[in-house]
């Protein structure tokens, strides 16, 4: 495993930082609160078209 990947996993697992921290974002990753849910409502999309 790459040293950078180990560092990122350490940040993700830290209680004070975690996946939703500014430091995690500074490392180039998308914080958990900024991710899209992935939920798609197909029926609503078809009605709009």
Any idea where the domains of the chain sit in the sequence? Answer: 3-48
> Got the DSSP string for 3-49?
HHHHHHHHHHH-SSS-TTSHHHHHTT---GGGS------HHHHHHH-
> What's the pLDDT score for residue 45?
61
Prediction pTM value = 0.64
pLDDT surpassing 90 at residue 42: no
Query: CA–CA distance from 41 to each of 34, 35, 46 (Å)?
Result: 20, 17, 9
pLDDT of residue 49: 63
pLDDT at 38: 84
Cα 10 from Cα 5, distance rounded (Å): 9
The string of pLDDT tens digits covering residues 7-40 is 999 999 998 899 999 999 999 999 988 988 888 7
| pLDDT the model gives residue 41 | 80
Cα–Cα dist 19/12, whole Å: 5
């Amino acid at each position: 495993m790459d040293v950078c990947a180990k560092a990122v996993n350490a940040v993700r697992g830290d209680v004070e930082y975690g996946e939703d921290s500014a430091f995690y974002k500074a490392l180039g990753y998308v914080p958990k609160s900024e991710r899209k849910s992935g939920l798609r409502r197909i029926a609503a999309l078809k009605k709009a078209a």
